[in-house]
Structure 1
Amino acid sequence: MTTEMFTKIDQSNASKKCRIMVSNFAMKSDENLVELTTTAFDISNKNHVKAFWSLELVCEKKLKLFTPYIDEFCTVLSKIKDDSAVRPATKICWFLAKSNKKNGIYLSKDQEHIIIENLIDRLIQDEKVAAKVYAMKALFVFGIKHNWIYDELKPIITQDAYQHTAAYQSCARNILKKIN
């Protein structure tokens, strides 16, 4: 039996309008959100990338709704290989890094460790620039709490910057200024 959520994901595309429509529909009910996250986290599902595009917008608008799925997200994070899913997953990591107790998001030490480890891996792997920039930004935020991260981050972005785009270099310069 095909659900309305499945149909919306399946018929969606990368346009902002479409992603907003799917994310808004997902936020209408717990069942829809469960289906969206289940689809996003199932990397063998043909629609997993499309689901991640909309899940990113859910997290941007109402990150607290994502709280029950953080453990599962941490489990799948290292398995995500498709560039089109890596970027939104890395951006979700950035949203989680910026979250705090005031907005009701609590990351456990294990969750933080898994996310940080995956972000460092994204930076040193051959990823697209957008994913690396979000990884850099998230690691900078985590570094406020865990200052050892800055010791890892500095050499990676310093050595890597000349190989990348102006956008990457600009972000790297800004982060290095803040760290120093």
Structure 2
Amino acid sequence: MTYQELYDQLNYVNHSREKRAYYAQLVISTPELMPHILKILFKVNDPISNRAGWLLEFVCKTDLTILFPYLDTFTEKMHTVYQDSALRPVAKICEYLTLSYYKKKDPLTRKHIKSLHKERMTEAGFDWLITEQKVAVKAYTLTSLFLIGTEIDWIHPELKRIMEDDYHKGSAAYKARCRHMFEALKKFEKRT
């Protein structure tokens, strides 16, 4: 499938699980489509980029390893994504990566995620937290930054400060995630 054919097919991707699963399976069975997906995702002013984000999230949920050869590109350009419907999947993919690396301690994930990738996820994550973003983006980012912060000392104090500053103006869902993160931070501090 060419870039243009995939681009045209993305017009048929929507939020339905059925459509996303169908196209995710297509990408998983044809990994050479990944550069096309990323190219479309990072056409940030194009409404189709949202659909590439939805698809990439579903692909990564099914098989995270398909992203590994493209981590440099993904982490280098993810900070450029700004449309809500594209940014949410990017933040979710960062959460998948950090959960796989820190919680599951997946050997393949640990082999492929480098310091530079964590640095880029951290930088983008803090940008997302301090700017006006939807709750889902912030929630996924809190998890990612908490996990990266188990390795990088300065992250947890900054994360805690931002949550304390924003807690009073956050939605009920944001406050709930913050309470969960405050508990996680307390438990982590007791272990160290």
Query: What TM-score do the two structures reach when normalised by structure 1?
Result: 0.92
Partner Cα distance (1:146, 1:119) in 2: 14
SS in 2 for 1:42: coil
Alignment of structure 1 residues 24-63 onto 2, 5 Å:
24-63=25-64
Over residues 71-127 of structure 1, what are the superposed CA-to-partner deviations in whole Å (9 max), with x where a residue is unaligned? Answer: 111121111111111110011111111223634022111111111010011001000
Aligned to 1:122: 128
Partner Cα distance (1:141, 1:70) in 2: 18
Instruction: Using the TM superposition, give the Cα deviation of residue 4 of structure 1 relative to its aligned residue in structure 2, in angstroms.
Output: 4.6
Partner Cα distance (2:49, 2:168) in 1: 33
Aligned to 1:77: 78
SS in 2 for 1:104: helix
Structure 2 residue runs of 5 or longer lacking an equivalent are: 187-192
Q: Answer yes or no: is the 8 Å Cα contact 1:5–1:26 preserved in 2.
A: no
Aligned to 2:69: 68
Partner Cα distance (1:127, 1:2) in 2: 30
Partner Cα distance (1:108, 1:30) in 2: 22
Aligned to 1:92: 93
Letter in 1 for 2:72: D
* Higher mean C-alpha deviation, range 139-148 or range 80-89: 139-148
Structure 1 residue runs of 5 or longer lacking an equivalent are: none
Decide whether aligned partners of structure 1 residues 148 and 175 sit closer, same or farther in structure 2, where only a CA change above 3 A counts: same
Q: 1:145 aligns with which of 151, 168, 172?
A: 151
Instruction: Using the TM superposition, give the Cα deviation of residue 44 of structure 1 relative to its aligned residue in structure 2, in angstroms.
Output: 4.1
RMSD between aligned residues: 1.7
SS in 1 for 2:133: coil
The percent of aligned pairs where both chains have the same amino acid is 28
Query: What TM-score do the two structures reach when normalised by structure 2?
Result: 0.86
Aligned residues: 180
